[in-house]
Structure 1
């Protein structure tokens, strides 16, 4: 089974497995397909994380997060008076981190793939050459970005070919197809060297970006040991830093574990309050301690110590809200956009892969590499631009996440796998920027505590608290009017927000069959056999 953000990408992954490929082959094929059919977040010009569990229970992960170029500096987004320059870290060439996706996919395939590399890349090439029929959502997305594409690029990107894209139009990706063919034929060198690298560096020079040929040549994804913890008999496997997702998810689950959540009704005042207070404390810790482990010491063991987490929640009382001003944390603010994508895969042998990948913002930096046809990320915005300056999403980070050459920026991506009694139980993850962690957390609780099916758990309305701003954000129908009144009387501030996140998950049923959860908030689709 494959569950991804686009029906065509899910189909590609499924066909690879039906030809005898495994979950790792399908991951590579799905990733490249998403770069074609889901350009707002699917990518070869971005990065991400993959957590895996083999059929024999071996677990691991690969980090292909973007890296700051060698010419990057801690003050690169500030003017001469040390003021942060609006938009510099989010739009255009200076916002781009060194892409990691292609290197990550090459390494994953080299280690675990069984089909030839060319065979797993070819479906994306076919999609690019034959064209992709746009849904209404995709047409609207391209139309909304048209002015930005034309303003930021020094050439006219093919994504603006039509003045007004409509559902049913076919979008052809000719230059991207050529780039993918170079990756098919030359592997890693087809992206980080040769013509593609020349085109990328030329694009950087045109737009005063700072990525060099050496930056591309020197990029390397990293194998990392995933974080593992338990929740009421379930083993939880998730991503280690530089993603904050795994630590934060394990902290949240551990903090609420002593409580009988199944006794509370779903989204009752007690449940919302408990989850909010746990989220408040976890995001405060995230702000202070987390960053790239190759640059700063991340106190993982201390943060996941059960005694420590019990103490963190000891100041919680059902009688009132704990204001975020009373919860200690760091002092740097930074943003993280919510345009990411996630897919979950389980193959016939029982290998499972959970992958979250991103350009960061919607269509990344909006820069389309001239002659190569792919979008570049704006991942540099995930660093802390300057102490004390709030960015548009209001997430807070510490010195651990300051910009430095060769450093990976902090992420919230939370690709996760659960086991029960030594067997695969769930594969889950989502896009959503700062809301990723809480969306994965609540989806897991929906299944384990509220007996929802996978689809029900994914579709259920969600709410979110991230320490600062000190507010519970909730989707339509997530919190009833009566519960809102109860919470407000206890001192909580609540704000409605549009639906967020697109959780794509797979549940292994007791009979061994797979049940998909494809998020109705998007065009997400499951495919299985």
Structure 2
């Protein structure tokens, strides 16, 4: 089993290193050391996020009397500073919340297409997609939703003062924080790309040398933006100085977001999607996320099969999971979209009879060809860089938030004078039927580009309960692999009896209908199992890491066990 991330501050070399940051990292190191040695039973709260400083910020809020939503807001803004490739205020995301009274809510703060967006905006005069036009630069940007989302979460559930929740982010941007080795390497690799799209310069570029682990990243422009959001709330981002800077960035470089787009943006409270799996209640995100419907469909697809008897990543287990994924992703391409614009057949897609019928033609003797698998016809028409964090407080309130800029560092555009990165979420629309997006996902009319429409997402923040009691908070980044990663982690706990860290660390694989191949991580699916599956017609394409799951499990004795993904700098902090 891979242990959760442990931090040592003694090897960090930073001139004039800030004393408060030393104390902060020392506290994290001690917490992580205690967890790794299993000497500490966390009962009062836990935060698992993609960055150690952000996790500690969340725990500090819980210790001050804040609830899980307060901590999540503070973590969200801290990640916008210390995890610039995906933590953001220039993107969007989703939140699933469960109260200690077993009440649920889902908040959709996904980005929207600008008012000037058109269906064919990324096609040339012959009707073919223009390479990378929906990915790089200013035209790729959707209207950001993160700030409005956090404002709405605080208005409904917040306990502590808004200004206090923003203060850690303000301080981290103004004073700086030490880069991890992974972050330094990522920034160095993108140095020329940042220069290409930011002729005015950006704090993310080290002009004098390459970044090194331990170097302080100070973001003064971002600190001013955070201060405006801190003092003015929603108006500090969607109106006034920051909004004008963002729109000027657009006008000067061919983007189409307007002041009206920003002023009119609204995050939306939605009814979560939910279903049972082997006696566990699974609650997840509805459209404009595809994640919740797809996850619940996958779980119900495999429920009739004895996975625990077959065993983890054994022949029949892998076959059933892949065949379920093949069919669910085919449905995703046809039926999923923004429910405000397209009548997504939620009830039909989640109907047990429909799901089981989709699995009736699988054979354990041979692989199904994806070319022979189309979308189903459910009844009841009503019509990879991301980050996830999980929070549980002492009262049992739980928050799962997945948030994104889409590609790592989004569009690569940093707003001049405001210091934050913008997303490239427009690529998540279907720009043309049959043309895959960045993650190889196909789509059609349901996810076509329309002004003010939310683009489809795979983000899958999820909460699982057992007998009315909180059991699990889980989610991950990973583009199209988000859904299958959350799916596998839940199976690892429920069917294969793993603890949270083991379930998160276990090797994963992915299938998404098209392309028709199984994509395993290096250690996923043993060679003899692969050989037998290949003899049945399954194709394998080796790939790198899949996702970075951050999850929390409530054990039988009421203590909290975190799962922080070893695939990144992800960190557990609890008390």
Same fold (TM over 0.5): yes
Question: Where does residue 421 of structure 1 map in the other structure?
Answer: 467
Decide which moves more: 389-398 or 135-144: 389-398
What is the distance in 1 between the residues matched to 2:502 and 2:398?
A: 21
SS in 2 for 1:181: helix
Question: Where does residue 550 of structure 2 map in the other structure?
Answer: 504
Q: CA deviation at 1:237?
A: 0.2
Question: Where does residue 367 of structure 2 map in the other structure?
Answer: 321
Question: Where does residue 231 of structure 1 map in the other structure?
Answer: 277
Structure 1 unmatched runs, 5+: 331-337
Pick the aligned partner of 1:40 from 71, 78, 85. Answer: 85
Is contact 1:154–1:206 with CA below 8 Å preserved after alignment?
Answer: no
Decide which moves more: 204-213 or 153-162: 153-162
Is contact 1:68–1:405 with CA below 8 Å preserved after alignment?
Answer: yes
1:80-133 C-alpha deviation (Å, 9 max, x unpaired): 221211011000000000000000000000110010000001011111111110
SS in 2 for 1:126: helix
Equivalenced residues, count: 522
Q: CA deviation at 1:134?
A: 0.6
What is the distance in 2 between the residues matched to 1:103 and 1:118?
A: 15
Question: Where does residue 168 of structure 1 map in the other structure?
Answer: 214
Is contact 1:290–1:398 with CA below 8 Å preserved after alignment?
Answer: no
Question: Where does residue 335 of structure 1 map in the other structure?
Answer: none
Is contact 2:167–2:230 with CA below 8 Å preserved after alignment?
Answer: yes
Q: CA deviation at 1:526?
A: 0.6
SS in 2 for 1:515: strand
Q: CA deviation at 1:210?
A: 0.2
What is the distance in 2 between the residues matched to 1:183 and 1:390?
A: 37
What is the distance in 2 between the residues matched to 1:495 and 1:425?
A: 34
TM-score (norm 2): 0.90
Q: Are 1:473 and 2:519 counterparts? A: yes
Question: Where does residue 481 of structure 2 map in the other structure?
Answer: 435
* Pairs within 5 Å for 1:254-403: 254-329=300-375, 338-403=384-449
Is contact 1:3–1:526 with CA below 8 Å preserved after alignment?
Answer: yes
* Pairs within 5 Å for 1:92-131: 92-131=137-176
Question: Where does residue 520 of structure 1 map in the other structure?
Answer: 566
Question: Where does residue 71 of structure 1 map in the other structure?
Answer: 116
Q: CA deviation at 1:161?
A: 2.7
Question: Where does residue 89 of structure 1 map in the other structure?
Answer: 134
Question: Where does residue 334 of structure 1 map in the other structure?
Answer: none
Q: CA deviation at 1:274?
A: 0.7
Give runs of ≥4 in structure 1 deviating > 6 Å: none
Q: Are 1:141 and 2:195 counterparts? A: no
What is the distance in 2 between the residues matched to 1:388 and 1:476?
A: 30
Is contact 2:432–2:444 with CA below 8 Å preserved after alignment?
Answer: no
SS in 2 for 1:263: helix
Q: CA deviation at 1:392?
A: 4.1
Question: Where does residue 52 of structure 1 map in the other structure?
Answer: 97
* Pairs within 5 Å for 1:128-207: 128-162=173-207, 163-207=209-253
Q: Are 1:410 and 2:480 counterparts? A: no
What is the distance in 1 between the residues matched to 2:390 and 2:566?
A: 16
What is the distance in 2 between the residues matched to 1:422 and 1:86?
A: 49
Is contact 1:142–1:159 with CA below 8 Å preserved after alignment?
Answer: yes
Is contact 2:54–2:78 with CA below 8 Å preserved after alignment?
Answer: yes
TM-score (norm 1): 0.98
- Backbone CA RMSD of aligned residues: 0.8
What is the distance in 2 between the residues matched to 1:107 and 1:450?
A: 38
